[in-house]
Structure 1
């Protein structure tokens, strides 16, 4: 049994270290090796585009969003706007109709989803009404840079590029330690995605701003999120999902831990499926860098919840074996105590806050797993008020 404990301890430890330290370092080294691979753009590529906004009870932000998208720097005869209201019960639909009436010269329409089944279902339904060449997706609480659509379209330089993700820029990183921690994590992840996209394909996008050809759109299961499902879907077809970080959307991160925790729990509603969504990913000879990217960037991160538990338990069982295991166990205890200290106090320390934020992320994975196993995972969620 001792050999089994050691094996589980080291395998789980390697997964944790690789996910959080090893892979980010390796991808930066790979990026320098392939520094000559750059993102190509063609600004003459200006096809017809539909900007789709999915909204559920977004009366607080929907008018500002409508004003924002109608000021995008893109040929007016080639752009239209589609608001997919996911069974909104507040004034969202009313405000959209009023805006359309007051701005009759703008090609905008409202699609009302009759039964609330979540964002992906609303996109699936509304997509069937789209006649333009391309779809740009954006969230109701995201403010798009005026050149964002032009930038997204410029990145579709070949038929092999099926998906382009923009950059989500967090605007309230200084508002609280929670939003600051999320901003730090997100900035690090964006660096990784930029390199992945340049070399071959990204492993995930973001819901605030992304685009695909209308003909390439696939009706995903409503429980899934385009953020994680679309890039993998296209990569397994041998096509590319890339990032153009000059296409920018601005958004607020959760300013209180309850909002950010809820968002992370929602993100993990499909965590078990996406540890390895398709065994073909393991075929490194066919999928090349994507296999390496996915296993390092996604699989290892999606295994953090079980890896931390396994490391803790096996370390406790091995503590008498040597001073190495004793020190490792004490280190873990201190790590979790620091997170608890931050949770129950207003201690203002950047590093302790990062530890706390990381532990909250792991706990959110556990809650996601529990909801999946208990059948409570669902495609709908309540918005985080501090992000509005």
Structure 2
């Protein structure tokens, strides 16, 4: 068999591995047995909590949403941690004594530390977690609580919808990626457990809240602890929240690096418990989490294999193809139509995630955060 042909086969295999978590994994999930969830009235109380750092631009809309939630659920407890904001966030929140309880940090400590402080204060049977820039549908918490009528359910994730007032290539990529992720979460739920929550909207039974270091992703750690403790973690398609996606490529690029590093750091912390999960959950976790983290590696290896196949015929032709492909990528990203610019921009974000994971593998992580200005 010709070496060039072998390289082409290897390149196609790498492309399949790259596509697997997005397109092949969901098809496999559809073949698994369905595990229904029983819904009904839930008499317990809910506590809603989130952290803030320099979110004064998002707070007016957030507070209006909280007031609507409080109108329909008067016993809803709302807890907010201000992580040493340098803008007017703390002042704005401090004026809402009748609506929420504000805890102010002395020094920057990060979201995980802030969430732990709030969780220790929470009085509700169910703790609902969110972000400062996320807006809940008015009936979101009421619908969320109905899933806790099922005693096997320990955690419920909501459904996040992106709203783009000024669409950009970056925001459209984020929306498309998130749609694929939400679809996978729904399919995972139908077959048992969803593999981790996003911090925008999720909840757990308060007594299941774990202890963990401040350096990990609190949303992934807290939500996966539900599974580790033998309860179901599910996604509710009718529990809706809204968020504006990041519109500037550089901001999203840095965000992907930060998330990738923290995700792998969290994975390392959770590894002993991950290994003890049921086989189906280990399969799900590897398929949706780990395979995506290394998507940039599969994509890069595919490119190298194809270049190597061309080089088998002519190194000059291979070098010329690389130069032309690189020049075309730069020109199309800056001047070309969105049809060509989107794949290029998406590829850079995929490699940003891989870079973050590599940082995580070397022991690097991120504790604090800054809100994206383009949201």
Contact map agreement 2:261 2:358 (CA 8 A) in 1:
no
In terms of mean alpha carbon deviation, does 242-251 or 302-311 score higher? 302-311
Q: Distance in 2 between matches of 1:160 and 1:335?
A: 53
Pairing of 1:1-388 with structure 2 (within 5 A):
10=10, 14=13, 16-21=15-20, 24-28=23-27, 30-31=29-30, 34=33, 37-42=35-40, 44-72=41-69, 76-100=73-97, 104=98, 106=99, 108-172=100-164, 175-273=167-265, 277-278=270-271, 281=274, 287-313=278-304, 315-317=306-308, 319-320=310-311, 339-345=329-335, 347-350=336-339, 352-369=340-357, 371-372=359-360, 376-387=364-375
- Distance in 2, matches of 1:16 and 1:330, equals 23
Deviation at 1:186, TM superposition (A): 0.8
**CA contact 1:173–1:180 (8 Å) conserved in 2:** no
CA deviations 1:257-284 (Å, max 9, x no partner) are: 112212212211234346675266467x
- Answer whether contact 1:119 1:380 (CA < 8 A) is retained: yes
Which segment drifts farther, 47-56 or 354-363? 354-363
TM-score by length of 1: 0.83
| Residue aligned with 2:164, SS | coil
Paired residue secondary structure (1:297): helix
Q: CA deviation at 1:191?
A: 0.8
- Unaligned segments of structure 2, at least 5 residues: none
1:338 Cα offset (Å): 5.5
C-alpha deviation, 1:355, in angstroms: 1.2
**8 A contact 1:274–1:299 mirrored in 2:** no
Aligned partner of residue 229 in structure 1, secondary structure: helix
Tell me: CA distance 1:367–1:320, structure 2 relative to 1, closer, same or farther (3 Å): closer
After TM superposition, give the deviation of residue 22 of structure 1 in Å: 6.2
Change beyond 3 A, Cα 1:374–1:281: closer
Give the Cα separation in 2 of the matches to 1:227 and 1:356.
30
Instruction: Provide the rounded CA distance (Å) in 1 between the counterparts of 2:177 and 2:305.
Output: 29
Shift in Å at residue 153 of structure 1? Answer: 1.1
Give the 3 Å change call, closer, same or farther, for CA 111–137 of structure 1 in structure 2.
same
CA distance in structure 1 between the partners assigned to 2:109 and 2:148 by the alignment? 31
Give CA-to-partner distance per residue, 1:4-51, whole Å, 9 cap, x none: xx69983x86465234246633423532664x5444422x11411111
For 1:145 and 1:177, the matched residues in 2 are separated by: 27
Cα deviations by residue, 1:281-322 (Å, 9 ceiling, x for unpaired): 467xx6132122111111111122333344444555555558
Higher relative contact order (CA 8 A, sep 6+): 2
- How many angstroms apart in 1 are the aligned matches of 2:213 and 2:263? 15
Question: Judging changes above 3 Å, is the alpha-carbon distance between structure 1 residues 33 and 201 closer, same or farther for their aligned structure 2 residues?
Answer: closer
| Structure 1 residues 132 and 203, CA gap change in structure 2 (3 angstroms) | same
Separation of aligned partners in 1, 2:117 and 2:146 = 27
| Distance in structure 2 (CA, Å) of the matches to 1:47 and 1:331 | 64
Structure 1 residue ranges without an equivalent (≥5): none
Using the alignment, how far apart are the partners of 1:245 and 1:327 within structure 2? Answer: 51
- Report the 3-state secondary structure (helix = DSSP H, G, I; strand = E; otherwise coil) of the residue aligned with 1:165: strand
**Aligned-partner SS, 2:197:** coil
Question: How far 1:327 moved relative to its partner?
Answer: 11
**TM-superposed deviation, 1:331:** 9.1
TM-score in terms of structure 2 length: 0.85
How far, CA to CA, are the matches of 1:133 and 1:54 in structure 2? 20
Residue 385 of structure 1 and its aligned partner are, at CA, apart by 0.6
**Other structure's SS at 2:374 match:** helix
Query: Which whole-Å CA distance do the structure 1 matches of 2:149 and 2:213 have between them?
Result: 29
